[in-house]
């Protein structure tokens, strides 16, 4: 079952591409946009994160941060971030705990177990969920207009 608006956001600590521990609690007092994506270097995942990269300036002045999360290793995510020029953190949920806590994980994805579902969550300054979208079809992109509206 995925999370719904009004619920507290599950807390987490994950490794960044620089192998630093990043916690959701680090961003208390800010809005957080979480983008879960299945796998780095795939077409739709790249489109999802490039959309956020290209609209990054929209979030200036809105007290908001973007975090991308996948089950890829931090090393894979570091290369993905470098090649695409992402200005936001990519976090490794290699152990699949955060994807599971957010109800954003496939039991099976092209024969692989435990791959993050394409999802978007907006978390408010008090760390409650104000927007939640978990997509069953990985070919679809999140509703970026609804994400922007939730951040305003």
pLDDT digits (tens, 9 = 90+) for 84-114: 998 889 999 999 999 999 999 988 788 888 8
> How many other CB atoms are found less than 10 A from the CB of residue 145?
8
Q: What is the pTM of this model?
A: 0.90
Of 120, 37, 34, the closest CA to residue 84 belongs to 37
Question: Exposure pattern of 56-94 as b/e (b: 16+ CB <10 Å)?
Answer: eeebeeeebbbbbbbbbebebbbebbeeeebebbbbbbb
Tell me the β-bridge partners of 120: 35, 133
What the chain holds in terms of domains, given with CATH numbers, is: 33-151 (3.40.30.10)
Question: In the prediction, which pLDDT does 58 show?
Answer: 65
- Average pLDDT across each block of 10 residues of the chain; the chain has 152 residues. List them in order: 86 97 96 92 75 72 90 95 91 96 87 88 96 89 88 88
Which residues are annotated as catalytic? 45
């Amino acid at each position: 079952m995925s999370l719904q608006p009004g619920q507290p956001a599950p807390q987490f600590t994950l490794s960044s591409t620089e192998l630093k521990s990043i916690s959701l609690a680090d961003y208390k007092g800010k809005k957080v946009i979480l983008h879960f994506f299945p796998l780095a270097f795939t077409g739709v995942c790249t489109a999802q994160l490039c959309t956020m990269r290209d609209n990054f300036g929209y979030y200036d002045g809105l007290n908001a941060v973007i975090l991308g999360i996948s089950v890829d290793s931090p090393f894979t995510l570091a290369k993905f971030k470098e090649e695409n020029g992402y200005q936001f953190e990519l976090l490794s949920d290699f152990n699949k705990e955060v994807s599971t806590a957010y109800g954003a994980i496939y039991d099976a994805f092209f024969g692989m177990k435990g791959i993050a579902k394409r999802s978007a969550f907006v978390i408010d300054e008090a760390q409650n969920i104000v927007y939640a979208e978990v997509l069953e079809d990985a070919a679809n992109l999140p509703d970026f207009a609804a994400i922007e509206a939730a951040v305003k």
